Structure 1
Amino acid sequence: MRCDGLVAVVTGGGSGIGRACTEALLAAGARVGVLDLDPSGAPEDPGVRPVRADVADRASLAAAVAEVVAAFGGLDILVNNAGISAVGTVEENDDAQWARVLDVNVTGVARTSAVALPYLRRSSSAAVVNVSSIAAGAGLPRRALYSASKGAVHALTLAMAADLVAEGIRVNCVAPGTVDTPWVARLLADAPDPAAERRRLAARQPTGRLVGAAEVAAAVCYLASPAAAAVTGTSLAVDGGMAGLRLPARG
């Protein structure tokens, strides 16, 4: 899982899963450009280049990726992590919410990838890793819009992998379960009984606990690394068994 000498870009790399991915890639020997609306949360390290960027703005992305390439001399790995959530049924999210979430979570992946591809084509170790979700394949209550966006990311990953395999560019995604991130912490804080809600979210995973951001980052790092040179068009679940296990109810 070493990435020595490689250059990565991580969108949404300033917090949560994105920051964990930045730290994992840095530890594996990569230099990392952190693209974020607020990149101040990026690790302070000579191998990290924090750049303000918006995945909903192509010009912003083009300038940010060019800055990382100029600073580090190329681009080998793209981690499309930036995303936003939505809670609600199809009746509860309005058209503006649908447009915003799909623009960030789906078009943002395509937009960032399109900007990065001219640089990735120059690499002999090019890899794209998209962050999907268990919601792409599991029906979760009141997650209609979010699930639709992550289902699209899964499908987009497969289509990109098919388009780019002949050029030696691998495209995969990870599908995390419920991850212990600042976003989940905010969700819990808004619940009537935060402790009970945390127990409920933890219980959704057969392991009985939330997934750690570093655990997702380890999977991303593997898929991004030359160790996964034979892996493309794959979704790797990091979900405590949620997708595949059907266990008897506890108690």
Structure 2
Amino acid sequence: MRLENKIALITGAGAGIGEATAHLFAQQGAKVVVADRNFDNAARVAAAIGENAFAVAADVAKAEDVKAMVQASVEHFGGLDILVNNAGFGCLGTVTTLEEDLWDSVIDVNLKGVFLCSKYAIPELIKRGGGSIVNLASTISVVGIPDRAAYVAAKGGVAALTRAMALDHANEGIRVNSVAPGVINSSYYDKIFQQVEDPVAFKKGLEARSPLNKMGEPIDIANMILFLASDESSFSTGAMFTIDGGYTAR
């Protein structure tokens, strides 16, 4: 029970990596706030977990939603020990083909969302004597990829913000780390598959990026998030942990 008596808030927990993390945290003794912009998805995950889960709807790009989400979490479970900033989405496009509103949406959810959730959750973590924040970055935080300009920019910002937060809040007992997933078989790619001409060929190309010749699964990332959320990583802060099947080793 690596998270016994801990209270965790996970954004984007209605599917994919967030859903896998919510289930894993609960199995390890945590009380879990399942947050998602789609309340039906959040409620489905919370119901599957049981009494130690609480569903809440929130758009992490909106300050009022985030404040209400944190307040509801604290009121329901009595505090917060862990924040997992997982909510995010990507899109195709270069700086010349992207519309400004889509650029803004990607930056707002992926990067501004980390800022807002951390801004309002950190005071609650301090009340409990500190805690752990895990941000979802990406391998494209450190390597480029064609036709994903907004997503690359946003995730690069998440990696840099993680380092800044780690330094700013270490003296408050708060550790801040990030996880950089490679190609993960999740709802993020489901949306991209719908945008490409040949989804089968596109998926094979994604698998070929990894020396292991496969896509990762959400639980692969959830296991690392669990490690960073637990006391087992007590000497780690400001770091990014890459789980990508060897993609960035090339």
Q: Normalised by the shorter chain, which TM-score bucket?
A: over 0.9
1:69 corresponds in structure 2 to: 74
Separation in 1, partners of 2:102, 2:193: 21
* Matches for 1:123-138 after TM superposition, within 5 Å: 123-124=128-129, 126-138=131-143
1:249 corresponds in structure 2 to: none
Identity between Structure 1 and Structure 2 (%)? 39
Shift of 1:198: 1.0
Separation in 2, partners of 1:16, 1:153: 19
Cα offsets for 1:195-214 (capped at 9, x unmatched):
21111001111111001111
Shift of 1:184: 1.2
Moved more, 45-54 or 179-188: 179-188
One-letter code of the match for 1:184? Answer: Y
2:234 corresponds in structure 1 to: 229
1:91 corresponds in structure 2 to: 96
Shift of 1:12: 0.7
From 103, 106, 113, the equivalent of 1:101 is 106
One-letter code of the match for 2:37? Answer: L
Provide the secondary structure at the position in 2 that maps to 1:2: coil
Which segments of 5 or more consecutive residues in structure 2 lack a partner in the other structure?
none
* Matches for 1:29-178 after TM superposition, within 5 Å: 29-41=29-41, 42-44=45-47, 45-124=50-129, 126-178=131-183
CA contact (8 A) 1:101 1:146 kept: yes
One-letter code of the match for 1:203? Answer: A
How many residue pairs were aligned?
Answer: 245
Shift of 1:190: 3.7
Separation in 2, partners of 1:122, 1:14: 27
TM-score (norm 1): 0.94
User: Segments of 4+ in structure 1 off by > 4 A?
Assistant: none
1:194 corresponds in structure 2 to: 199
CA RMSD between the two structures: 1.3
One-letter code of the match for 1:150? Answer: K
CA contact (8 A) 1:13 1:39 kept: no
One-letter code of the match for 2:220? Answer: E
CA contact (8 A) 2:159 2:178 kept: yes
1:205 corresponds in structure 2 to: 210
Separation in 2, partners of 1:193, 1:107: 33
Shift of 1:187: 2.1
Provide the secondary structure at the position in 2 that maps to 1:43: helix
Q: Does 1:242 align with 2:247?
A: yes
Separation in 2, partners of 1:108, 1:172: 16
Provide the secondary structure at the position in 2 that maps to 1:121: helix
Which segments of 5 or more consecutive residues in structure 1 lack a partner in the other structure?
247-251
Provide the secondary structure at the position in 2 that maps to 1:96: helix
CA contact (8 A) 1:62 1:115 kept: yes
Shift of 1:186: 3.1
Separation in 1, partners of 2:191, 2:168: 38
Provide the secondary structure at the position in 2 that maps to 1:173: strand
Which is richer in helix?
2
Shift of 1:21: 1.1
Change (3 A) 1:190 1:145: closer
Separation in 1, partners of 2:187, 2:109: 19
